[in-house]
Amino acid sequence: MNCSLIICTYNWHEALALVLSSIASQSILPDEVIVADDGSDESTAKVIMKYTEIMPIPIVHSWQEDIECRIPRSRNRAIAKAKFEYIIMIDGDTVLHKDFVKDHKRVAKKEFYTQGSRVLLQSEFTKNIFKEDIFKAPYFFSSDAKNKLNMLRIPIISKIVSYFKSQNINRIRGCNFSIFKDDIIKVNGFDEEITFWGREDSEFVQRLFNIGINKQQLKFSGIQYHLHHKERTHKLENDAILSNTIKNNILRCNIGIDRYL
């Protein structure tokens, strides 16, 4: 099974360089990387060009004009460009364990949305990473990270956990998931009527639930390390859109990925 790894980014080229470096070190490489760029400046393009020359797989820079927050549009355009059947999506501030791609591909199933987890790195530890310009995962017993159980890679337990399916909309994370491209198209991708940050991932997954797709949890595998930054607050308007999708059993968004296919 071939896969496209999509990275969502916006104007943090130092973090993107660490993420691309972690992709280059994967035990199993994706078949292509697509950078879904919501309008970053030239610094991001330079980082992508550098890794295009280093990595043995194609890197596609899917850039759009910087007009406020248009994450759903950026994701849809990148997914539409993907050449391969399976999509793994991460954020441009999440450094990957060397077996990240391997773990996502191992549990891939048609009509399933796979939700991964993340290790939350602390502020001082993140600052030191950028000072040294190299990523080293924190020790389990250090105070450098939260969500420490997510640091443990135990494939046997991970396999057991993946048997449990749900349609629980809580704790959806757009920074670490995978799904077949065909299943994304069924719900018309991400809703581009959401033009503020937040809930665009939950609303997308709720439509997947509405057509009968289940969620499987990727625990003790598929590890990613989230670089510390100031958290943003989502808009209440986005809560209303999500509530409407749940209440009215919305299956497809009106403005979505079909514009690019």
Q: In the structure encoding, which two tokens stand for residue 214, read together?
A: 């289940």
- CA 12 to chain centroid, in Å, comes to 16
Sheet bearing 32-37, strands edge to edge: 59-63, 32-37, 3-9, 86-91, 176-180, 112-115, 214-217, 165-166
Tokens of 12: 């943090």
CA distance 2 to 136: 29
Burial of 65 (0-12, 13-18, 19+ CB in 10 A): exposed
**pLDDT digits over 37-56, tens only?**
999 999 999 999 999 999 99
Distance CA 6, CA 79 (A): 8
Residue 221 DSSP one-character state: S
Per-residue pLDDT, 170: 84
Residues 194-213 have pLDDT tens digits of 987 778 999 999 999 999 99
- First-to-last alpha carbon distance for the chain, in angstroms, is 22
Rounded mean pLDDT of 211-227? 95
**Measured distance CA(79)–CA(178) in Å, rounded:** 12
How much is the pLDDT for 16?
97
Q: Which domains does the chain possess? A: 3-259 (3.90.550.10)
Cα 50 to Cα 66: distance, rounded to the nearest angstrom: 22
Residue type, 33: V
pLDDT at 164: 85
